[in-house]
Amino acid sequence: MLSKGWFKIICIFTLVSTTTLIFFGCGAKQQKPAAGAQVKAMAAIQQDTPLIFEYAGEVKGTNEVAVQSRVSGSVVDKYIHGGEQVSAGQALYRIDGGNYISALNQAKATLAQSQAQLSNAQQDLSRYTQLINSDAISDQTYTNQQQTVAAYQAVVEANVAQVNKAQKDYDDTIVRAPIDGRLDVNDVATGVYATAGSTTLVTLGTVNPVYVQFSISENEYLKFNKIFNGNFIGKEVTLTLSDGSDYPITGKIAQVDRSMGNGTSTGTLTVKALFNNPDTLLMPGMFARVKLTGETVKDAILVPQRAVQQLLNKSFVMIVGDDGKSVSRVVTLGPKVGSYYIIQDGINPGDNVVVEGLTKLREGVPLNVTTVTADQLGLSLTSGDNTSADAGTDNNADSDSSGSGQNQ
C-alpha cells in the first residue's frame, strides 16, 4: 500500500503530463498549414490598340494686344473695368485733350487764312486772264500770278494736312479697343500720365478661340510624319484639364513651327492646337494635357500598369500558374496606353495576371485567387491608372520614347 507521500507525487506527475498533452495538441492544431495567398487577378487582354500620345500644353490667346495711347497726356476718364469683355472700337480711356483741341483750332485758323489768300490770288488770276487777252498786261505779270496761285494752293494743302493731323490727335485722346476680347485686370487708373506708344494702359486678348501650345520630340515628329503622311495640320486632339476632367470640345492642330527648337537647344518642335472656347472655360496661362492619337497596334497584349514590377532594370509580371501557384514572368514593355502597358514579350493572351496582393508575393506560392474585371478595377484605355501596385518595388516603368510626349 502506497504512502500518502508517494500518492501525492503520482497525482502531480499525472496532472503535468495531461497538461503537456493538451498544450502540444493545441499547438499542433494552430500550426496547421494556411490557405493560399489572397490575390486578385484578371486575364491579359488582346485587341487592336491605338497609341495615344500625351503632352503638357499651355493655353494661349489667339491674339493679345498691349493697348497704348497714340497721344501723350494724363488719363482723365476710364470707361471700363479690368476683366471685362469688350468689342473692337469700344472706348476704354480718355486722355486729357486740352492741348490737342487748341492745336486743332490753331490749325483750322491757319487753314482759313491760307484759303482766303488763295481765293484772292485766284480772283486776281481770273482778272489777269481777261487783261492778257487784250494785251493790257505783260506775259510776265500773268505768269507771276499763276505761280502765286500755285504757291497759295500748296500752302492750303499743307494746312489741310495739319488740320487732319490735329483732328486725328484729338480723336486719339479716346483710346479704343483694337479687337474683340477680354481685358486684363492690371489696368491703369485715372490720373496716370500716358506716354504715346510707350505706356501700356491695359492688355486685351482674344479668349475664343484659344491655342493650346505643346512640344514634340524630334523622334516623335519623324514618327508622326510617317503616320500622317507629312501633314499635321487639321489632325484632331483632345484636352484633359489640370483637375483631371476632359474638355468637351475637340481641337485641331493649327500651327507647326518651321524649325526644331526655334533657336533653342531643346530639340523639340512647337505645335499649336486650336480649340473653340464658347464658355471661356480655357484661360490663357492654364496648363492642360494634350492627347494626340497615333498608329494602331494590331492584336496588342495589354496588362494593367499596376501588375508590373521592376527590379534591376528588368520588368516582371506575376501570373496564376496552371497548378494555382504564383509564376513570375520577365516581360518586355511596350508603350503605356491609358491604365495599361502593351506587353511585347513574356505574356500570352488570357494569362491570369495578379493585379492586387503582390506585396512580398514570391514565385511558387499557392494562391487563393479572386477574378476581377477591368471595370471593377477602374481601368481604361484612355486614362491612366492612378492606383499604385502593392509590390514593394518600383512598378512605374517608363517605356516612353525620348522627348516630351508620353504614350497613354
77-131 residue pLDDT tens: 999 888 888 989 999 999 999 999 999 999 999 999 999 998 988 888 888 787 8
Which residue in the block uniquely carries the three cell numbers 499596376? 306
| CA distance linking residue 251 with residue 277, whole number of Å | 10
pTM of the predicted model as reported, rounded to 2 decimal places: 0.60
| CA distance linking residue 183 with residue 164, whole number of Å | 31
Amino acid letter, 149: V
Please, which residues bridge with residue 263 across strands? none
Every domain of the chain with CATH number 2.40.420.20 lies at: 38-49+299-407
Amino acid letter, 296: T
pLDDT on residue 394: 39
Closest alpha carbon to 55 in 216, 237, 198: 216
**Alpha carbon separation from 231 to 53, 227, 274, 297 (Å, rounded):** 17, 9, 16, 21
Beta strands 45-61; 210-217: pairing state: antiparallel
Beta strands 73-78; 268-275: pairing state: unpaired
> What DSSP string describes 314-333?
EEEEEEE-TTSBEEEEEEEE
| CA distance linking residue 287 with residue 214, whole number of Å | 10
Side-chain-side CA neighbours of 183 within 13 Å: the count stands at: 25
pLDDT along the chain (408 residues), means of 10: 46 43 42 65 86 87 89 92 88 93 93 91 83 78 86 92 94 92 87 91 88 88 80 86 91 87 69 91 90 82 88 87 87 84 88 84 84 84 56 38 47
| CA distance linking residue 366 with residue 329, whole number of Å | 16
| CA distance linking residue 311 with residue 302, whole number of Å | 20
CATH 3.40.50.300 fits 38-49+299-407, yes or no: no
Amino acid letter, 132: I
Whole-number average pLDDT of the chain:
81
Burial class (CB in 10 A: 0-12, 13-18, 19+), 331: buried
pLDDT on residue 391: 37
Every domain of the chain with CATH number 1.10.287.470 lies at: 97-172
pLDDT on residue 106: 94
Q: Choose the CATH number for 97-172 among 3.40.50.620, 2.160.20.70, 1.10.287.470, 1.20.120.10.
A: 1.10.287.470
Over the stretch 172-225, which tens digit does the pLDDT of each residue have? 999 999 988 888 888 888 999 999 989 999 988 888 899 999 998 888 888 888
